[in-house]
Amino acid sequence: MLDTHIDRRFKRTWEFFLANAAGLLLGSLVVLVGSLFIIPGPWFAFNLLQETLECVRTGRPVRWQAAYERRGNFLKSWGLALVMGIPIAIGYALIVPGLLLSIIWLHAPMLAAEGRPVIAALSESFRTFQRRQDWAAYFLNVLLLVVLSAVAGLAFPIAILMLPLGLAYLAFCHTDETGQEMLPRREVVV
């Protein structure tokens, strides 16, 4: 369940990051370079988010090439960026509405990465929040993601580190909420 144990979740995020540093950092570089050209930015970011979620669940290593290989996600990524991003951006101009939308839609990107349509992902994220009625836990998790985003905005090299941490943290928030445990990584010993 999603709770206020941010320290444990962030520790798992950091361990996941260390175990997958090369794939996550190269994938983040692809996302950030793609963002410079605007059009591929949301698509690359959504692909890396989907790859991160799959790797958190299965324990397999992150493939940085997934950031640009999943062609079927292009429209969904832009739909999510526009339908979710514009209201949140406008809301942050007034601070509180943006924060509320960020809290309510915390799970929407992960639900879309699981294959749900964008509007269905936003609706299901809202229903998940309503069922939990746990403002404090959601607020703290969103606050951590906002802080990671703010730190990422300081400089390009910092963004390469903060982007995969934010994606992994979001994936762990979602898997904790849905009760999906990470499968142990299989080691082959010869």
In angstroms, the CA 80 to CA 16 distance is 26
Q: Residue 184 domain-assigned?
A: no
In this prediction, residue 1 carries a pLDDT of 47
Q: pTM of this prediction?
A: 0.84
Q: Residue 188 domain-assigned?
A: no
Q: Residue 186 domain-assigned?
A: no
Q: Residue 27 domain-assigned?
A: yes
Residue 137, domain extent: 6-178
**Predicted confidence band of residue 11 (pLDDT cuts 50, 70, 90):** very high
Q: Residue 187 domain-assigned?
A: no
**Predicted confidence band of residue 84 (pLDDT cuts 50, 70, 90):** very high
- In the chain, how many domains are there? 1
Would you state the structure tokens that stand for residue 52, as one six-digit string? 């991160």
